[in-house]
Amino acid sequence: MSPRSNISARFDTAPDPLDGRVPPGPIDSKWTDHKFDMRLVNPANKRKFEIIVVGSGLAGASAAASLGELGYKVTLLTFHDSPRRAHSIAAQGGINAAKNYKNDGDSVHRLFYDTVKGGDYRSREANVHRLAEVSVDIIDQCAAQGVPFAREYGGLLDNRSFGGAQVSRTFYARGQTGQQLLLGAYSALMRQVHLGSVKLYRRTEMLELVLHDGRATGVVARDLVTGEIRSFSGHAVVLATGGYGNVFYLSTNAKASNASATWRAHRKGALFANPCFTQIHPTCIPASDEFQSKLTLMSESLRNDGRVWVPKELDDTRTADLVPESERDYFLERRYPAFGNLVPRDVASRAIKREVDAGRGVGPIKNGVYLDFAESIERLGPKAVEERYSNLFEMYERITDENPQNTPMRIYPAVHYTMGGLWVDYDLMSNLPGLFVLGEANFSDHGANRLGASALMQGLADGYFVLPYTIGNYLAPLLGAAPVSTDDTVFAEAESTVRDEIKRYLSTNGTHSVDWFHRELGKIVWDNCGMARSTETLEKALTEIPPLREQFHNDVKVLGDNESMNQSLEKAGRVSDFLEFGELMCLDALHREESCGGHFRVEHQTEDGEALRDDENFAYAGAWEFNGVGAPPTLHKEPLEFENVHLAQRSYK
């Protein structure tokens, strides 16, 4: 029996392939032609349309601002106390764009090619090409907004290189690129708020998606200060609610990042694609202890000037300075001479794990490898290195009490980004008409692995340059139709679902805190569905998650009431959703009998331990349909065709 057969009871497969609705024509004119072919809403009619945007990160803020500028009536919800606090603020390294300002051979086609290859051939070519095309406009847009990108002495924009690329196409603002890009989008957004085209609801968390006749027509949300449950109605709903990395409990994501908005849309029928495609980032500060609440990323840009090594000896207890050059193994340079320390994240992460598992780890609990700047400091001088990385070095020193100028950093991989997300078509619309999904929340552009500096690019591409066009195509035929009234029964039902759920949490009176359950779930998925996965570990996770979920519902302790700020109550809903989502993620990982990008199945590897894809059987996006909690979901396959980038085993040697 093939190993696949014993999981067949866990899900059904839909007979018909899923259609990504990619426009016809050659890859480099699809988007241009499509823009021309799409229906338009004339300026005077735009104000007759109401759009609900959930999320104020790069994707949501840029979308809401752009839609407001166009004249639509926008409602923006965020659970943060200000749009500027969204998780995007923490991105450090930079944003890619095919500007070719460095004259080093970059082009839209190369960025497209690198992204498809970097994604290990599990993304939709047409989307990726569009992303590469609009990347250049993003930089123009952000520079015009006053984003203080790094400059050269002549006043031109500076670039650096980033993992997975052999050209310098990354734009940056010190180590705070995400902050500056988000503040740019936030300022554009606040301008629209001031002008009245965007109505902003802070500390307001979406808890249900509302459908009417199969179309997305609104959301139900809770005011996190007063507990008021409220309905919002519109002609379309846009989710830009970020990724699900916190299912692992420990990750580099902000503490509040969660999957509830997308999961609740999934429960209402939106397909969830490729949940097992999660990215582990190679350069994070190793965890120190149980109480650890979060892992801290050290930007990938450090790999430009830092060299990764471990002592050749097993269980070497000498400090770094006592290990002579000849006894160090610069294993990334050795294994991948062409890319060296700049191999993509998944490749670097697994190589690091291999060294640590083999017993060559460094640090007090031997759970890291060195990232050493000595050679760069010698080559460029301490001042130049300081200039490039000062805030990262500071951050590192604050946490570990060690200065990377003198002692090499210690790093270890951590969960960082999630490529999977709600399934969307070429227009970024989910299978539910009127529900659009942007940024990390969708599954669209990164396949099985995202290249560094490409998430910021995608979030802003979606929000500034894709959705403002494609949403018009959806709205145009709806002209004249009023949004469904919030007095309609569909809203009343959704509101009562939310109220019942809240009542349930508050009356369970169990023994464990919400965080306790979150940590337990995190351990299960990290140990069994983390950097390396196997039939055995995934089966284990799939038997452990349902009882934990049941225990949660019988034994969680949420104190306080609904009518005031109650952070345990907020977390309860999010963890409840993670307990359902985690199961789907493991199932997706189990069903995908291949290794690709961030999804590494130990059964499927080459002789030297690289990911082994199975293009014949798995060159598809796997989009799951919800059939009830614990019930077998239905798998819809969107076949992926590679007409412009030839399928090949990735090699960074």
Ligand X SMILES: Cc1cc2nc3c(=O)[nH]c(=O)nc-3n(C[C@H](O)[C@H](O)[C@H](O)COP(=O)(O)OP(=O)(O)OC[C@H]3O[C@@H](n4cnc5c(N)ncnc54)[C@H](O)[C@@H]3O)c2cc1C
Does 56 bind ligand X (CB under 6 A)? Our answer is: yes
Joined tokens for residue 545: 């998650």
Q: Does 576 bind ligand X (CB under 6 A)?
A: no
Return the residues of window 168-207 that contact ligand X according to CB under 6 A.
Answer: 177-178, 205-206
Q: Which residues in the 178-217 window bind another protein by CB under 8 A? A: 179-180, 183, 186-188, 190-191, 193-194, 202
Of 350, 416, 592, 599, which lies in the binding site for ligand X, with binding defined by CB under 6 A? 416
Nearer to ligand X by Cβ, of 454 and 576: the residue is: 454
Q: To the nearest whole angstrom, how small is the minimum distance from the Cβ of residue 35 to ligand X?
A: 23
Q: Which does 567 bind (CB under 5 to 8 A by kind): another protein, ligand X, none?
A: another protein
Stretch that binds another protein, among 106-114, 171-179, 349-357, 429-437 (CB under 8 A): 171-179
Q: Which of residues 539-558 bind another protein (CB under 8 A)?
A: 557
**Stretch 251-270 residues interacting with ligand X (CB under 6 A):** 252-253, 257, 260-261
Q: How far is the CB of 635 from ligand X (least distance, A)?
A: 25
Residue from 595, 466, 598, 476 nearest 531 by CA: 598
Give the amino acid at 463. G
Comparison of 553 and 557: residue with beta carbon closer to another protein: 557
Between CA 202 and CA 344 the distance in angstroms is 37
Q: Strands 12-13, 634-639: parallel, antiparallel or unpaired by DSSP?
A: parallel
State which H helix or E strand residue 59 sits in: helix 58-70
CB of 17 to ligand X, least distance (A): 28
135, 274, 279, 454: which one binds ligand X (CB under 6 A): 454
Assess 417 for contact with ligand X (CB under 6 A). yes
Chain-centre distance for alpha carbon 391: 24
Longest CA–CA separation in the chain, Å: 76
Closest CA to 525 of 545, 550, 547: 545
- Map the footprint of ligand X across residues 65-124, applying CB under 6 A: 77-80, 86-88, 90-95
Q: Which of residues 238-267 bind another protein (CB under 8 A)?
A: 254-256
Separation CA 301–CA 135 (nearest Å): 19
Q: CA–CA distance from 1 to each of 8, 13, 539, 601, 635 (Å)?
A: 12, 19, 17, 19, 22
Q: Is 101 in the site for another protein (CB under 8 A)?
A: yes
Shortest CB 558 distance to another protein, Å: 9
- Choose among another protein, ligand X, none what residue 617 binds, the Cβ cut-off being 5 to 8 Å by kind: none
Interacting stretch for ligand X, rule CB under 6 A, among 50-58, 134-142, 388-396, 639-647?
A: 50-58
Closest approach, Cβ 82 to ligand X, in A, equals 9
Q: Are the C-beta atoms of residues 31 and 434 closer than 8 Å to each other?
A: no
Closest approach, Cβ 463 to ligand X, in A, equals 8
The nearest distance, CB 327 to another protein, in angstroms, is 30
Q: Taking contact as CB under 8 A, which single stretch among the options 176-184, 242-250, 483-491, 624-632 is the one that binds another protein? A: 176-184
Query: Which entry of another protein, ligand X, none binds 153, CB below 5 to 8 A by partner kind?
Result: another protein
Identify what 60 binds: ligand X, another protein, none; CB under 5 to 8 Å per kind. Answer: ligand X
* Nearest Cα to Cα of residue 181 among 471, 455, 396, 436: 455
Strand order through the sheet with 620-625: 12-13, 634-639, 620-625, 272-273, 421-422
152 binds another protein (CB under 8 A): yes
Among the listed residues 15, 105, 154, 480, the single contact to another protein using CB under 8 A: 154
Q: Checking DSSP bridges between strand 236-239 and strand 435-437, what pairing results, if any? A: parallel
- For the record, the structure tokens of 328 come out as 């160090």
User: Checking DSSP bridges between strand 50-54 and strand 12-13, what pairing results, if any?
Assistant: unpaired
Q: Which is nearer to another protein, 186 or 526 (CB)?
A: 186
φ and ψ at residue 651, rounded to 5 degrees? -140, 130
- Of these, 53, 54, 89, 167, which contacts another protein (CB under 8 A)? 89
Which of ligand X, another protein, none does residue 439 bind to, with CB < 5 to 8 Å depending on kind? ligand X
What separation in angstroms does the CA of 349 have from each of 177, 204, 332? Answer: 23, 37, 10
Residues 336-365 that bind another protein (CB under 8 A): none
Helices (H), 319-447: 331-335, 345-355, 374-380, 382-400
Closer CB to ligand X, residue 163 or residue 368? Answer: 163
> Which range of residues in 115-123, 285-293, 354-362, 487-495 is near another protein by CB under 8 A?
285-293
Q: Are 42 and 475 in contact (CB under 8 A)?
A: no
Interface region with another protein, contact rule CB under 8 A, candidates 81-89, 522-530, 583-591, 593-601: 81-89
Region of residue 466 (left: phi > 0; alpha: psi -120 to 50; beta: else): alpha
Task: Enumerate residues 293-312 that contact another protein by CB under 8 A.
Answer: 293-294, 296
Cβ proximity to another protein: between 141 and 283 the closer is: 141
Which residue lies nearer to ligand X by CB, 266 or 591? 266
Report the residue number, 355 or 495, with the smaller CB distance to ligand X.
Answer: 495
Residue 198 CB partners (closer than 8 Å, separation 6+): 64, 65, 67, 68, 74, 75, 76, 189, 192
User: Of 84, 110, 307, 345, which one is the catalytic site residue?
Assistant: 345
450 backbone dihedrals φ, ψ, rounded to 5°: -100, 140
- Among 11, 31, 55, 652, indicate the residue that binds ligand X (CB under 6 A): 55
Q: Is 264 a catalytic residue?
A: no
Residue 35 or 203: which CB sits closer to ligand X? 203
- Quick check: 541 binds ligand X (CB under 6 A)? no
Q: What is the DSSP letter of 373?
A: -
| Joined tokens for residue 24 | 């016809």
Q: How would you label 99-124 residue by residue, b for 16+ Cβ within 10 Å and e otherwise?
A: bbbeeeebebbbbbbbbbbbbbbbbb
Rounded Cα–Cα distance for residues 426 and 640 (Å): 13
Q: Which residue's CB is nearer to ligand X, number 56 or number 159?
A: 56
Which residue has 């109605």 as its token pair? Answer: 233
Instruction: Give the x/- contact pattern for ligand X in 289-308, rule: CB under 6 A.
Output: --------x-----------
**Which H helix or E strand runs over 415?**
strand 409-418
The nearest distance, CB 283 to another protein, in angstroms, is 14
How many CB atoms are located within 10 Å of the residue 383 CB?
Answer: 9
- Interacting positions 119-148 with another protein (CB under 8 A): 137, 139-146, 148
SS3 117: helix
**Structural contact between residues 108 and 457, judged by C-beta atoms closer than 8 angstroms:** no
Active site residues: 345
Binding interface with ligand X (CB under 6 A): 54-60, 77-80, 86-88, 90-95, 177-178, 205-206, 240-242, 252-253, 257, 260-261, 297, 416-417, 439-441, 453-456, 459
